[in-house]
Structure 1
Amino acid sequence: MPLAVAARGGDALQIGLVSAALYAWWIVSVPLSVITDRLGIGPTLRIFAPLRFVGLAVIAIGVATEAEWGYGVLLTGVLLYGFADVVVDSASGTLPAAVMKSEDYDAAYSSLYAVTRTADLVLGPVLGAGLFLLNLWAPFALAVLLLAVSYGTLFSFFGDQRTQAAPADGTEPGWFSATFAGLRHVVRTPLIRGIAITLIGVAAASEVTAVVVAPYVRAAAESDYWPQILGGVNAIAGIAAISAALAATVIAGRLGRTRTMIGAATLGVASPVLMSLGPSWTFVALALVAAAVGEAIWVPLAQASMMKATPHHLLGRTRAAVMFIIWGTIPATSLMAGALAVTIGLVWTLIVTALFAALLCAFGFPALLSGGRGERELRRTRTRLPRGR
């Protein structure tokens, strides 16, 4: 969408407004996630997923309109798409937990992450760039078609009993308690609390690395082709991320999920440290690969762990609570990275970021280990119970 705005003559302010409109709904993702738990995963997807089609269609109309009011139409479509995307994310992100056995969560979320990254890093950019050559609205038309195929593929799950809302037990809490039940579950559950704290540090390290890498290599580049070289390095990091996501289940099976997650988080913390060693392409490549691989292993295992530690009636709100924590800190992290880079320099910004991420991991790892031990003990207790208990 930013490319479409730029292509139709939009300035930096208009591009910024479009990006802000797309992610603005994440601010209220926690209240919106109540929809998923109240209606059920299947009904939520059946009702709200088509709104993304409508949003994309409105965006395509705005892009195709050369008149000044076309930008307003485009912005309206972005707001509609962003709203639907936040609601649908809570439902689609918890769908595997509703229809699969808990022992298959790791493989399911690892596969989904690999597919998503392939679409984000390979298919999306290639198809989008090619279709922009035909017409500005063409990528959005293809997106509508692909979402329609996705909707049809998932249609059988919409009425599946496993994706319906959990039955009420007669003790339904008030609106405020129900809305923030997911946040309370995150705080009260050691495993999920450890995941959330650690994830803030890992996300901060990854975001700062992404923010400073371009000016970092530009300042020391000896070639005018540094953007192309950086693009190639990012592509290598993307391939490494996809491979790591596919291997995450195997690695966790051999080392243990908690140890694997701690190792993946450590890779994320090491990313800014590696880059701070110097702007050579070797260090930059190692830093970007470390960040990509750490995220690719961490995210699916963390998602699976959260779903295992969350009751069915809180799945949507718990996922939204964690996503709110992450999406809420990333904009602040980006602004702080830019401010620090201007005042103390790029290298010290990377070092401060690594220290910040390491500090959060120091608080998150103990909770993660404690929660992991509790989960294993609960499983052992369940296996020792006589049948029928």
Structure 2
Amino acid sequence: MPTPGHRSAFWWLWTSSGLSNAADGVLKTALPLVALRYTDSPVIIAGIPLALSLPWLLASLPAGALADRWDRRRTMLVANLVRAGALVALVAAPLTGTGSLVLLYGVAVVIGTAEVFHDTSAQSILPRVVGRADLDRANGRLYAVEVTANQFVGPPLGGFLVAAGVAVATGAPALLWVLAVLALLGVRGTFRAGRSDADASAPRTTLRAEVGEGLRFLWRRPVLRTLALMVGVSNLAESAMMAVFVLWAVGPDSPLGLSEPGYGALMTSVAVGAVLGSLAATWIAGRLGRTLSLALCILVAAASHAVPALTTSVLVVAAVWALAGAGIAVWNVVTVSLRQRLTPDHLLGRLNSAYRLLAWGTMPVGALLGGLVADRVGLVQVFVVATVLDLVLLACLPVLRERHLRAAEAEVGDRPDGGPDDADDDGGPEPLPRAAEGVVSATP
């Protein structure tokens, strides 16, 4: 980091991110397991991840515009407090005898909505904390702690906490989000987005107009648009599989026959690969080139979806998922730094939200699809469909050739504002978006 002040702010942000992602990891493992106590219906259980992800489809665009209006750090603080408060209500429900699937769904929607605001702002704040020259290193460190907390610490902890009781499993992430708020208070300064030079003297436009500006920025840039659509298809496949995978994995009569803690432990195999991959991502991309690296990410995603249909060996599934975790890291480290570096600060929130509308908006559809296919046809068919969808994405790679990425970097480097001009160019190759939402998603 360039200065001691930047270093201090970054490490507080890093700590907050780790705590927040640990809470996410516990919760996203615990909620489907809590739902199993009420029902064994694939459709109803698939509704939990659907409820968590539906706000990305409904609220991402206004959240992005507001992130460019509001102080991004304060938005993150409020969002974490809302998530903690929702879980306090869930903790109190079993103690008062009011626990139900309806309450579980309601809490999932609230938490998902707060996540939209938190993550949109979190993606936009980093260039102001460390400066654009240090984004590769900062993103690598952030991604390592996010993966470790979200997938290595959170899932097994969630499994063990559910075994201890619903109140414990839901109370722990609430505490972690409160601690994340305290850590984020250490990031000093104002993080309200500056307006572009052209807009600095103009009156504030409507929220609708600002949302439209972000959508145009995304849609008029072929590389950026293609990646968002690719990630949307991949996340549809991912959500379909993971919405019902708990039925394949947990219980003495399931094919894998895992206990609840064992299920959480299996989920950590992704994190093992992802942590190692995050350390090697820059080297891999340098050796293979970015296009080939992204192609390998697609292939390991397909393999991670196919392997449960081919074997019931927990060790084989864990090994392939670890490889997929390495693919997650390579995809994220390569693309997140590009997106942040090539996007002007005043558009970061809207770009993030417009991108995620395409990339994450398919997740609730995928969760619903997974539940319906599993209910009508079978669990194995869900894995087959997810694999085929991943392989189709290889057809998009010609748009992501290295020369297109270099042209985008050269174009931005020639502009005085340090980022692409938003409005009316007709769209040569443009920056890669962040893929923490990526073609290989956080949980295979």
1:237-256 to 2 correspondence within 5 Å?
237-256=270-289
Does residue 1:179 correspond to 2:211, yes or no?
A: yes
Asked if the contact 2:240–2:366 (Cα under 8 Å) also holds between the matched residues in 1, the reply is: yes
Does residue 1:108 correspond to 2:138, yes or no?
A: yes
Q: Distance in 1 between matches of 2:295 and 2:415?
A: 26
Q: Distance in 2 between matches of 1:259 and 1:342?
A: 37
Partner of 2:24: none
Q: Which letter maps to 2:258?
A: P
Partner of 1:142: 172
Q: Compute the displacement of 1:265 (Å).
A: 2.7
Does residue 1:305 correspond to 2:316, yes or no?
A: no
Q: Could you tell which deviates more after superposition, 289-298 or 337-346? A: 337-346
Asked if the contact 1:56–1:77 (Cα under 8 Å) also holds between the matched residues in 2, the reply is: yes
Q: Distance in 2 between matches of 1:243 and 1:363?
A: 27
Q: Aligned to 2:193, what secondary structure does the other structure show?
A: coil
Partner of 1:264: 297
Q: What's the TM-score, normalizing by structure 1?
A: 0.78
Q: Distance in 1 between matches of 2:325 and 2:399?
A: 24
Q: Distance in 1 between matches of 2:255 and 2:396?
A: 43
Equivalent residue pairs, number: 377
Does residue 1:166 correspond to 2:194, yes or no?
A: yes
Which of residues 170, 191, 195 is equivalent to 2:223? 191
Report the identity percentage.
25
Q: Aligned to 2:361, what secondary structure does the other structure show?
A: helix
1:274-289 to 2 correspondence within 5 Å?
278-279=310-311, 281=313, 284=317, 287-289=320-322
Asked if the contact 1:271–1:286 (Cα under 8 Å) also holds between the matched residues in 2, the reply is: no
Which of residues 50, 75, 84 is equivalent to 2:114? 84
Q: Compute the displacement of 1:90 (Å).
A: 0.8
Does residue 1:291 correspond to 2:324, yes or no?
A: yes
- Structure 1 spans left out of the alignment, 5+ residues: 384-389
Q: Which letter maps to 2:65?
A: V
Q: Distance in 1 between matches of 2:68 and 2:347?
A: 6
Taking structure 1 as reference, are residues 264 and 129 closer, same or farther at Cα in structure 2, changes over 3 Å only?
Answer: closer
Taking structure 1 as reference, are residues 181 and 6 closer, same or farther at Cα in structure 2, changes over 3 Å only?
Answer: same
Taking structure 1 as reference, are residues 35 and 63 closer, same or farther at Cα in structure 2, changes over 3 Å only?
Answer: farther
Asked if the contact 1:196–1:322 (Cα under 8 Å) also holds between the matched residues in 2, the reply is: yes
Q: Distance in 1 between matches of 2:384 and 2:89?
A: 44
Q: Compute the displacement of 1:288 (Å).
A: 3.2
Taking structure 1 as reference, are residues 206 and 54 closer, same or farther at Cα in structure 2, changes over 3 Å only?
Answer: closer
Q: Compute the displacement of 1:205 (Å).
A: 4.8
Does residue 1:373 correspond to 2:406, yes or no?
A: yes
Which of residues 350, 360, 382 is equivalent to 2:393? 360
Asked if the contact 2:47–2:368 (Cα under 8 Å) also holds between the matched residues in 1, the reply is: no
Q: Compute the displacement of 1:206 (Å).
A: 4.0
Instruction: Name the structure where helix makes up a greater proportion of residues.
Output: 1
1:18-167 to 2 correspondence within 5 Å?
19-26=49-56, 27-67=58-98, 76-132=106-162, 134-157=164-187, 160-161=189-190, 163-167=191-195
- Structure 2 spans left out of the alignment, 5+ residues: 1-30, 417-444
Q: Distance in 2 between matches of 1:336 and 1:2?
A: 17
Does residue 1:329 correspond to 2:362, yes or no?
A: yes
Q: Which letter maps to 1:102?
A: R
Partner of 1:387: none
Asked if the contact 1:257–1:301 (Cα under 8 Å) also holds between the matched residues in 2, the reply is: yes
Q: Which letter maps to 1:50?
A: L
Q: What's the TM-score, normalizing by structure 2?
A: 0.69
Q: Which letter maps to 1:59?
A: L
